[in-house]
Amino acid sequence: MDRVRMVTVGRQRLRVAVRPGTGSAPPLLLCNGIGLPLEVWTPFLEALDPALEVVRFDVPGVGGSPLGPLPHRFSTLARLAVRMLDVLGYERFDVLGVSWGGALAQQLAFHNPHQCRRVVLVATATGMLMVPASPHVLLKLVTPRRHRDSGYARAVAGEVYGGSVRDRPELVERMILAHDRPASGRGYLYQLATGWGWTSLPFLPLIRQPTLVLAGDDDPVIPLVNARVMAGLLPAAKLHVYHDGHLGILTRADELAAMVTRFLR
């Protein structure tokens, strides 16, 4: 069973959940998509090998973590996450990041080559310098409304997320809106500001850890070509394309959790 508690890191308090594992591998740190609390990982965790110890956390301004006075840069959030792991007693870790959280995972891997053992990047890209989504999709991403308004979320689900939710928009309600801890309006804006001007292109060739890149073949938010670019620049990357959209880590949890487990072992 997960242990959920507040952890103080410097002046910042973070809501953290730890699922103890029975194996000897380093813990897997999960980095959430924009505006999403740690509960969003439930389908993936249920499918993930229980031997793996898993750490989840809410970034400042999301879920149960209070908002800081100013937006953080990804480099600052990476240092905050490592200090959080240190408070929890972990010296080494693996990291898995989805979408916005994939940018944080890249930053963590780059800044911590000795502590970060393996990396999984899901439905993510290189930041400002990437092949972007269409303008219609981008306009729907700049507001947290899709995380709060169930009618709106269902209406835009197929266009925004692609894959399985094109035919089953109710999946968005069950997986994204079923949690009562959405990002605050200012917290969401702070997360958008975190990514402004950020790109991983210059340092991707310096990330030497074994990396698994997972990407959907119908992802309107992150076009597939971005995953191919990342896999080409990362020295030790393996690319797997799954038949689904931006929420594939949740809608295809059994398949992708098994793949992640094999990779981390």
Task: Based on the residue annotation, tell me whether 134 is a catalytic residue of this protein.
Answer: no
CA distances (Å), origin 52, targets 29, 69, 116, 264, 265: 11, 35, 15, 9, 9
Reported residue count of the chain is 265
Q: What's 211's DSSP letter? A: E
261 near 49, Cβ under 8 Å? yes
Give the count of alpha carbons within 13 A of 40, CB side only.
Answer: 30
| Catalytic residue selected from 65, 99, 164, 200 | 99
163-166: Cβ within 8 A, 24+ apart: 163/216, 163/218, 163/219, 163/243, 163/244, 163/245, 163/246, 163/247, 163/248, 163/251, 164/244, 164/245, 164/247, 164/248, 164/251, 164/252, 165/245, 165/247, 165/251, 166/218, 166/245
Which H or E element spans position 55? strand 54-57
| Residue among 144, 88, 135, 93 nearest 114 (CA) | 93
Query: Residues 215, 123: contact at Cβ < 8 Å?
Result: yes
Do 79 and 12 touch, CB atoms closer than 8 A?
no
Nearest to 184 by CA among 24, 64, 10, 74: 64
Q: Which residues are catalytic?
A: 99
